[in-house]
Amino acid sequence: MTTETETVKFGDVIQVHYVGTIADSGEEFDNSYTRETPFQFEVGAGTVIGGFDAAVQGMTVGEKKTIALTPAQAYGQRNPEALIDFEKANFPEDFNIEVGGLVPLTGPNGPAVGVIQEVKEDVVVLDMNHRLAGKNLSFNLELVGIGVVEEEQTAPESSENESKVLQTIKKLDEGDGIYYDDLGIAVSLEGIDGPMLDEILDSLTDQGLIFQPRFNHYKEA
C-alpha cells in the first residue's frame, strides 16, 4: 500500500502520467492523459528510455515535475547506416509510395516501421531510425501510484473485436487477402483503431486463424 511519504525506488512498479514533447519545436508526440490511463512499468527493468527511468526515482505520489532529455538519455543519435533499400516489387499495387510515408515491416526483432526517405527507380530507401532519434525531448511527469495495479479484464471485448476483424477479412477477401489499409478503414467503423488492430492481427496470427500471403496482406487461414 502506498503512503504519502513513500518514494519511488529501483524495482518498484509504478503508474505515471506524462506528456512528451520535442524540445526544439514544442510538438507533442505522446500524452497518457488522452488515453485516460496512466503508464505502468517497473523501474530499472529497461522497458523505458534511460532518462525517463532515472527521473521517476525519488518521486512521491502526486508529485509533478518536468524533465529535459538529450538524445543520449532518450532514443540515441540518428544512425546514418540505418537506411535500407526496399524493392518496389514488394509493395502492394495500390500502396501510396511517397517520401515521408510509413511502411510497416516485420523483422527478426518483431514489428518495425520504416519512413520513406527516397524513391528510386526500382527501390525505396527506408529510414529505420526511431522517429525521435537525435531529438531533445521534454516530459511533464505526474506520479500516480506505486505498486502493481491489476488491469481490468478485457477478454470478452478482445474476443468480440477479434471476431469482428476475422469476419471483416472473410467478407472482403476476394481470394488473395485483404490490404492492411482497407482492413483498417473497414474496422474503424466498428471502433477499432490502428494500435488495437495491430494487437488483434498479432493475436489472430498466433492462434493460426490468419496469415500473410504477402507483404501487408491478411487472409483467413
H-helix or E-strand spanning residue 150: none
Distance CA 144, CA 105 (A): 35
Asked if 215 and 165 sit in the same domain, the reply is: yes
Asked if 112 and 142 sit in the same domain, the reply is: no
Confidence of residue 190 (pLDDT cuts 50, 70, 90): low
In a domain, 208, yes or no: yes
Asked if 44 and 141 sit in the same domain, the reply is: yes
Asked if 68 and 108 sit in the same domain, the reply is: no
Asked if 161 and 216 sit in the same domain, the reply is: yes
* Residue 1: predicted pLDDT: 45
pLDDT, one tens digit per residue, over 53-90 is: 999 999 999 999 999 999 999 999 999 999 999 999 88
* Residue 151: predicted pLDDT: 55
In a domain, 90, yes or no: yes
Asked if 94 and 201 sit in the same domain, the reply is: no
> Whole domain around residue 55: which residue ranges?
13-75+134-146
Which residues have C-beta within 8 Å of that of residue 52, sequence separation ≥ 6?
Answer: 18, 67, 69, 74, 139
pLDDT, one tens digit per residue, over 148-189 is: 876 554 444 567 888 888 888 888 777 777 877 778 777 776
In a domain, 8, yes or no: no
Distance CA 148, CA 166 (A): 33
Asked if 63 and 139 sit in the same domain, the reply is: yes
Asked if 67 and 140 sit in the same domain, the reply is: yes
Identify the CATH number of the domain in which residue 45 sits: 3.10.50.40
- Classify strands 83-87 and 217-220 as parallel, antiparallel or unpaired: unpaired
Asked if 141 and 34 sit in the same domain, the reply is: yes
H-helix or E-strand spanning residue 166: helix 155-172
189: phi then psi, degrees, rounded to nearest 5:
-70, -20
Asked if 105 and 31 sit in the same domain, the reply is: no
Identify the CATH number of the domain in which residue 196 sits: 1.10.10
* Residue 67: predicted pLDDT: 97
Asked if 106 and 64 sit in the same domain, the reply is: no
Q: How many domains does the chain have?
A: 3
